[in-house]
Structure 1
Amino acid sequence: MQGWRREWEILRFAIRGVLILISAAAGLYTAPSGETKTYVAGVLLFAALTAAERFGLPERLRTAFQAVQVLVSFWLVERFGPALLFLSLSSLPGYRQSDPFSKGLMTAGHLLALNLALAGAEISVRLNADLAFLLSAVLLLMLEISERRRLEGVVRYDELRMHHFELGEERERLAAFALRIEEEAQDEERVRLARKLHDDIGHRLIRIKMMMEAAMRILPTERERASHMLEQIRRQLEESMEEIRLSVKKGTTVSRAEHEYALDRLLDDTGRETGMRTAYRIQGIPYALYPSYRVALYQNAREALTNALRHGRAEYIELTLIYEPDAVIMKVCSGRAGDIKPDGLQTRVTPTVRAGMGIRGMTERTRHLGGELRIDPGPPFTVVTRLPIRTGTAE
C-alpha cells in the first residue's frame, strides 16, 4: 500500500512540475524585458515553495506555504498577465488537507485570488481562466477518488490474504490436533491391551504352568488324573489363545475413522443389500489420510451410491481411489451394462444434471477441504472428488 501512495505523490508532483514549466516558459515571451529578473525571481520563489512541500511538513505549515503560493501566483498573474495561469493552477494538486472544509476553503480562496489578478483582463479571458480552474479541480477530485478506491481495494485484498493465511494455519493446527487426539487414543488402547495381557492372560499362563508341573509329578503314578489335568491345560490354552486374538484384533492400530468410514466395506454392503455388481480399485501407493478426509470421501461416495440407486437405476458401480503425490482422487462410476465409458471427464456440471441437495452437499463438503468436485452425466454417471494433499495433510 505504501508503494501505491508513493506513486500517487510522484504523479502529483510531476503534474505540478509540468504546469510550472509550461507557464514559466510562456511567461518569458510576455514579460517586459526590463522585468525579466523580477519575473525569474518570482517563478523561482514559487517553485521553491512547491518543492518545500516534499519534505513532509506538518499540515498547518504546509497550508501556510500553500497560502503563500497563492499570493505569489496572484502577484505573478496580476503583473505578468494570463500567460502564468498554469503556474497558478499548479497549486491545485497540492491541496491535501485532511479536513474537506479546509480544502474547499483553500480552493475557493485560490479561485478568488485568480479572478482578482485577472480583474483588468477581458471577460472572455476571465471566463476561460475560471473554466480551466474548475475543470482542473474536478479532474483532480476524480483522480483522488479513483486513487482512494484503489487504495481501499489494496487494503481489502491484503486483509483477505491475511485471513486466508490465518485460516490455513488454523486448518493445519486443527489437523495436527486431530492427529494428536487419534494418537493419544491409540496409546490408551495399547496401554489397556498391555494391562489386559498382564492381568488376565499372564495370570492364566502362570496357573497353566503350575498345573503342568503338578501333572508331571503325578504322571508316573496317577496317569488318569494327570491325563485329566492335561486336558484342562489344553482347554485353558485354547481359551487364552482366543482371548489374545480378540484383544489384539480389538487393539489394532487401525483408527476408528478408518474402520467406520471404509470405502470397500461401504461398497460391499451396497452390493450385498441390492444385488448390484460392484468393483473397488486402488491406483497408486496408498498413504494414510486424516479422519476429515476419510469422512468427506466416505460421505461423497455414499451420496453418489444413493443417487445411483435412487435416480440412475444403475446395474453396476465402480469406485476407484487414486493416490497421487499432491492429491487423493475418488471416482465413482455407475450405469447400466450397455454403457460405454468416456475417455475424459467434464470439468463442470452440465445443464442435464440438476444440482439438488445431495450434489450441493458434496460440493460444499469438498470445497471446505480445499478440493474440487466434478460430475460427468455420462454414461456412465461419474462423480469425481479431488482433495489436495498439502504439508501435514497425510499422516
Structure 2
Amino acid sequence: MNIVLPWLRHLLIVVPAIGSLGSDRIASHSVYTLLVLLALLIVRIRIQWPRFLPAVLFCGEVAFVGYLSYSFGGILFLCHLSALISIFERRPAGLTFPMPPWLAALLPAAAMNAALAGQPIQSPETFLLANVVFGSFGLLLYVIQTAAVQKSEVESLYDELSRNHLELQHARKRLMQYAKQVEEYAQLVERNRISKDIHDDLGHRLIRQKMMVEAILSIRAAEPEKAALMLEQVRDQMTESMDTLRRTVRNMSPETHASGRYSLEKLIESAGTQLGIDVRYRTEGLPYALYPSLEYILYRNAQEAITNAIRHGGATEVDIVLAYTPDHVAMSVSNNGSLPDPESKVRKGLGIRGMEERVSLVGGRVDLGGDGSFTVTTVLPHYRQDGREGGTA
C-alpha cells in the first residue's frame, strides 16, 4: 500500500489535468502544462522529503491545487484528493502529521468547495457529487490506514511471540541442562556426606576391632577364655559393621528406574523393618512424572525427616503426604513425637541444613512446624519435561 499511494497521488494530479484539457477557460496550454507540472513537483517534494516544511508544503499544495481548480474548472477539483491521501500515508519513524487529521481534511475540502463555487455555472448536484466523492474517498483511506496499522501491530506481536518462543526453547534447554547438573551435584553432595558417615562410623568400629584383635593375640596364651570371649565380641561387631555397610550402600544408590513414589515406598518399607515404626503414605492431586533430581531430593528429605523424628522426637508414627499441583509438588512429613518448645526456635542441625541446601539448588524451600504435630514440608517447583505438558504424566 505504501507503494500504491504515492503513484495514486501523482495520478490524481495528471488524470484530472488531462480530463480538463477541453475546458474553454484554458487560454494557454503552455501555461496550463507548466502549472500542472509545478503541482506535480510539490507533490513529489512532499513524498521525497517528508520532513521538509511539512505544514507549509501541505498548505501550499492545497492552495495551489485550489487555484488550478478555480482558474481552469473542469474536473480539476479531483486533484484535492491527492492532498487528502497525504494525510493518511504512513510516515517515517518519529514523524507525525503537522496538524490534527480532522483539520487537515477540512482544508482540501474547503478549497475544493471554494473552487467549485467560483465556477461560472455549477449545479447543486455537482457540489453534492464532489463532496460525496471526497467524503467516501476519505473514509476509504481511513479504513485502509486502520487496517494497515492493525496489520503492523499483528506482525509486531507475531515477531515478538516468535522471539519469545525461541527464548523459551533456549530457556527450556538450559533448564534441562541445569536440572541434570543439579541432579549430579545433589548426588555428589549426598555421596560425600555418606562417605563421611562411613568414615566416622565404620572407621571407628574397624579401629576398635583392630585394637581388640591385637589384645587377643597378646593374651591368647595366658588367658585363653578371655581371648575367646573377646573374639566373639569382635565377631558380633564385625557383623554389625557389615550390616551398616550394606544399608549405607543401598541408601547411596536408590533405584534410578523407580519413580518418586516407588522410592518413597522403598523408604517406608525399610523404615518399618529397620527402625520399627509405623510409616503411612498417601498422595493428593493428580500425580505426574518428576525429574530424577526432584525424586532424589524428596527421597533424601523424607529419609532425613524420619530419622530426625525418631532421634529428637521419639516418634513411633510418621505420616507422609505428597501433594501434586500444576506448579509445584509438596511433601509433608509429620510425626507423633514430642514437639519442640514453642517459645524457642527449632535448632537447625546438619540434617535440616542439608535438606535446605538440596532444595535451594532447584529453587524450592523447606518449611518447619505444624498444628498438633511437628511437620517438615518440602516444596519443589515443577518443570515440564520434554514433549509433555506440565501437570501430566
TM-score range (shorter-chain normalised) is 0.5 to 0.7
| 1:79-228 equivalence runs, <5 A | 79-96=71-88, 98=96, 102-119=100-117, 120=119, 121-123=121-123, 124-165=125-166, 168=169, 178-220=179-221, 222-228=223-229
Identify which of 19, 22, 25 aligns with 1:26: 19
Aligned residue type for 1:134? G
How far residue 147 of structure 1 moved from its aligned partner, in angstroms, is 1.7
Aligned residue type for 1:206? I
How far residue 385 of structure 1 moved from its aligned partner, in angstroms, is 5.5
Give unpaired runs (5+ residues) of structure 2: 89-94, 270-289, 299-322, 326-381
Identify which of 341, 353, 371 aligns with 2:388: 371
Aligned residue type for 2:65? S
The answer on whether the counterparts of 2:194 and 2:248 sit within 8 Å (CA) in structure 1 is yes
The answer on whether the counterparts of 2:26 and 2:72 sit within 8 Å (CA) in structure 1 is no
Secondary structure at 1:9's aligned position in 2?
coil
Count of equivalent residues: 281
Aligned residue type for 1:64? V
Relative to structure 1, the CA distance from residue 370 to residue 53 in structure 2 (aligned partners, 3 Å threshold; closer, same or farther) is farther
| Aligned equivalents of 1:228, 1:367: Cα separation in 2 | 61
The answer on whether the counterparts of 2:80 and 2:109 sit within 8 Å (CA) in structure 1 is no
The answer on whether the counterparts of 1:74 and 1:88 sit within 8 Å (CA) in structure 2 is yes
Identify which of 32, 39, 58 aligns with 1:66: 58
Relative to structure 1, the CA distance from residue 264 to residue 184 in structure 2 (aligned partners, 3 Å threshold; closer, same or farther) is closer
User: Which stretch shifts more, 148-157 or 166-175?
Assistant: 166-175
| Aligned equivalents of 1:264, 1:25: Cα separation in 2 | 91
Deviations 1:327-349 (A, max 9, x none): xxxxxxxxxxxxxxxxxxxxxxx
User: Which stretch shifts more, 131-140 or 99-108?
Assistant: 99-108
The answer on whether the counterparts of 1:92 and 1:107 sit within 8 Å (CA) in structure 2 is yes
Aligned residue type for 2:229? H
2:30 matched to 1:37? Answer: yes
How far residue 73 of structure 1 moved from its aligned partner, in angstroms, is 1.0
User: Which stretch shifts more, 101-110 or 213-222?
Assistant: 213-222
Deviations 1:162-196 (A, max 9, x none): 55455556655655555555444323322221211
CA-atom RMSD, angstroms? 4.1
Q: Which residue of 1 aligns with 2:261?
A: 261
Relative to structure 1, the CA distance from residue 206 to residue 290 in structure 2 (aligned partners, 3 Å threshold; closer, same or farther) is closer
User: Which stretch shifts more, 97-106 or 234-243?
Assistant: 97-106
| Aligned equivalents of 1:98, 1:114: Cα separation in 2 | 25
The answer on whether the counterparts of 1:366 and 1:385 sit within 8 Å (CA) in structure 2 is no
How far residue 65 of structure 1 moved from its aligned partner, in angstroms, is 0.8
Q: Which residue of 2 aligns with 1:230?
A: 231
Deviations 1:89-143 (A, max 9, x none): 1111101595796322222121121122222142133332222111111111111
How far residue 57 of structure 1 moved from its aligned partner, in angstroms, is 3.1
Relative to structure 1, the CA distance from residue 366 to residue 174 in structure 2 (aligned partners, 3 Å threshold; closer, same or farther) is closer
Q: Which residue of 2 aligns with 1:14?
A: 7
User: Which stretch shifts more, 117-126 or 233-242?
Assistant: 117-126
How far residue 81 of structure 1 moved from its aligned partner, in angstroms, is 2.1
2:50 matched to 1:54? Answer: no
The answer on whether the counterparts of 1:215 and 1:229 sit within 8 Å (CA) in structure 2 is yes
Aligned residue type for 2:6? F
Relative to structure 1, the CA distance from residue 368 to residue 194 in structure 2 (aligned partners, 3 Å threshold; closer, same or farther) is closer
Aligned residue type for 1:155? S
Give unpaired runs (5+ residues) of structure 1: 1-7, 270-286, 301-364, 374-383, 387-395
2:239 matched to 1:246? Answer: no
Aligned residue type for 2:151? R
The answer on whether the counterparts of 2:255 and 2:263 sit within 8 Å (CA) in structure 1 is no
TM-score by length of 2: 0.59
**Whose helix proportion is higher, 1 or 2?**
1
User: Which stretch shifts more, 159-168 or 121-130?
Assistant: 159-168
Q: Which residue of 2 aligns with 1:393?
A: none
Deviations 1:200-229 (A, max 9, x none): 211211222222233334445554443333
